[in-house]
């Protein structure tokens, strides 16, 4: 069953969804949206905690009907405001019809140029408000674009004019949990997590968990991420603030923190950077490459001992990434390996990637490669019975099992940042615990 936290986007509805539990209202600050987009007498109000405190009270989106006026008949000197939500598969023309705009000049204006570009970027569920005369002549049209600007099309005499103005964006933390039954993406879909959050989750834990080999049925995740909103309107998904991944019973946790004079990154609960010298998997893990069946969780693997490498069964064309920064040492064909790339990394480490169908452009002997760069694609060149990547991890030119080699630990935050980090981390850990504890029953 999909767990739905009470902080759901109100993307499909402007009707009341939930009410605040007793005791939380004192912490809420009410923002009334309605000043920029008159919404037919229905005023959307968003309850939110002040950003700076990020208190642990579950936060809720509450939409209330404040002033009740009959929809689509609110009249003011013979003009009508209407609000419509974009539907899946909508066209601009259909939207204008629903907004009851009967104005050839306005249609022409909105179907081309900047107005059309901005309208076409909108996603299903976003709202557009229009003010028309009783004969359907467009006087004013407003919506929020994906950059968080309010786009305003206004009649100036016999002309229409498009302007933009910045709207206040606020980030609302959203918490969601899921359990993996068949695949990671099936679980994130079920938890109603946007793909951009799923992809971040994979990146954040990419040096701890090999998502191609380690995932198990019953693995659990909990994510706290930002939903960026303009008044009354969800805009887009932001970054993950904290996450937990329980893989084979082992708990991994990550907290986002921006150190002084540094860009933000992810840390363990005790302040060690999660960015490590090597990624656990050389294959990109995406919705497309991950597959949806249980079988894909257990790719046919030969024992490491048998041939001093790790085999990753994957469809031809799956992206292969460099597991660490380094310099390309060899690109080309070698008997059994087929198309192969070797990369020399810092110190005594090197890696080899075999059986590729092709190399990524720009990968040449001597090229500088960053961790995660795509170097080629899965194939079955050389001695391969099926499409797979053969990956070797070498220390002092001797193959080692990458899963068993102890890599240097990452440096913790310095003492100056540690105090600030601890307060962020404690808060986030508290949230993760809270969500986990309230949901354990649902997982069974």
Residues lying near Zn ion in the complex (CB under 5 A) are found at 309, 311, 390
Q: In whole angstroms, how close is the CB of 354 to Zn ion at the nearest point?
A: 7
Give the tokens for residue 375.
Answer: 């170097």
Q: In whole angstroms, how close is the CB of 216 to Zn ion at the nearest point?
A: 23
Q: Are 234 and 86 in contact (CB under 8 A)?
A: no
Distance CA 141, CA 196 (A): 30
Q: Which residues contact 362 (CB under 8 A, 6 or more apart)?
A: none
Residues in the chain: 444
Distance CA 181, CA 134 (A): 55
Q: In whole angstroms, how close is the CB of 407 to Zn ion at the nearest point?
A: 22
Identify which of residues 9 and 311 has a Cβ nearer to Zn ion in the complex. Answer: 311
Neighbour-count burial of 399, counting CB atoms closer than 10 A to its CB (0-12 exposed, 13-18 middle, 19+ buried)? middle
Q: Which residues pair with 172 in a beta bridge?
A: 227
Identify which of residues 380 and 418 has a Cβ nearer to Zn ion in the complex. Answer: 380
For 157-232, list the strands marked E by DSSP: 159-166, 170-179, 220-230
CA torsion sign for 265, 268, 273, 274 is negative
Q: Which residue has its beta carbon closest to Zn ion?
A: 390
Q: Which residues contact 226 (CB under 8 A, 6 or more apart)?
A: 171, 172, 173, 174, 237, 238, 239, 241
Identify which of residues 241 and 356 has a Cβ nearer to Zn ion in the complex. Answer: 356
Provide the 10 A C-beta neighbour count for residue 138.
24
Q: In whole angstroms, how close is the CB of 389 to Zn ion at the nearest point?
A: 8
Identify which of residues 280 and 390 has a Cβ nearer to Zn ion in the complex. Answer: 390
Identify which of residues 182 and 399 has a Cβ nearer to Zn ion in the complex. Answer: 399
Give the tokens for residue 403.
Answer: 């899963």
Q: In whole angstroms, how close is the CB of 442 to Zn ion at the nearest point?
A: 41
Q: In whole angstroms, how close is the CB of 335 to Zn ion at the nearest point?
A: 13
Identify which of residues 205 and 312 has a Cβ nearer to Zn ion in the complex. Answer: 312
Q: Are 354 and 382 in contact (CB under 8 A)?
A: yes
Q: In whole angstroms, how close is the CB of 388 to Zn ion at the nearest point?
A: 7
Residue 415 DSSP code: H
Identify which of residues 97 and 302 has a Cβ nearer to Zn ion in the complex. Answer: 302
């Amino acid at each position: 069953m999909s767990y739905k936290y009470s902080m759901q986007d109100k993307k499909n509805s402007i009707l009341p969804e939930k009410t605040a539990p007793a005791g939380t209202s004192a912490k809420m600050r009410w923002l009334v949206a309605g000043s920029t987009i008159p919404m037919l007498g229905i005023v959307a109000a968003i309850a939110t905690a002040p950003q700076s405190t990020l208190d642990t009270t579950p936060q809720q989106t509450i939409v209330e009907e404040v002033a009740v006026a009959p929809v689509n008949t609110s009249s003011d000197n013979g003009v009508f405001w209407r609000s419509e939500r974009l539907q899946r598969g909508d066209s601009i023309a259909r939207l204008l019809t629903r907004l009851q705009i009967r104005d050839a000049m306005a249609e022409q204006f909105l179907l081309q140029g900047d107005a059309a570009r901005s309208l076409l970027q909108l996603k299903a569920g976003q709202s557009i408000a229009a003010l028309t005369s009783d004969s359907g002549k467009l006087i004013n049209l407003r919506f929020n674009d994906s950059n968080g600007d309010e786009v305003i099309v206004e009649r100036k005499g016999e002309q229409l004019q498009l302007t933009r103005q910045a709207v206040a964006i606020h980030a609302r933390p959203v918490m969601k949990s899921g359990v993996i039954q068949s695949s990671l993406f099936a679980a994130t879909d079920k938890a109603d997590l946007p793909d951009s959050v799923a992809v971040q989750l994979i990146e954040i834990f990419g040096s701890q968990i090999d998502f191609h080999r380690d995932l198990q049925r019953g693995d659990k995740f909990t994510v706290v991420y930002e939903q960026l909103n303009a008044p009354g309107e969800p805009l887009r998904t932001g970054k993950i603030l904290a996450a937990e991944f329980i893989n084979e019973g082992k708990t991994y946790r990550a907290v986002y923190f921006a150190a002084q004079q540094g860009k933000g990154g992810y840390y363990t609960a005790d302040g060690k950077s999660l960015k490590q010298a090597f990624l656990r998997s050389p294959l990109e893990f995406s919705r497309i490459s991950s597959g949806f069946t249980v079988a894909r969780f257990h790719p046919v693997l030969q024992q490491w001992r048998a041939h001093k490498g790790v085999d990753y069964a994957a469809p031809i064309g799956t992206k292969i990434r460099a597991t660490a920064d380094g310099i390309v040492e060899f690109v080309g064909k070698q008997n059994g390996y087929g198309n192969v790339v070797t990369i020399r990394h810092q110190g005594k480490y090197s890696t080899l990637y075999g059986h590729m169908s092709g190399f990524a452009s720009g990968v040449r002997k001597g090229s500088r490669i960053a961790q995660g760069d795509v170097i080629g694609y899965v194939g079955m060149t050389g001695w391969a019975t099926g499409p797979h990547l053969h990956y070797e991890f070498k220390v002092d030119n001797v193959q080692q099992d990458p899963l068993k080699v102890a890599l240097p630990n990452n440096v913790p935050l310095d003492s100056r940042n540690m105090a600030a980090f601890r307060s962020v981390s404690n808060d986030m850990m508290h949230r993760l615990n809270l969500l986990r504890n309230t949901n354990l029953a649902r997982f069974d």
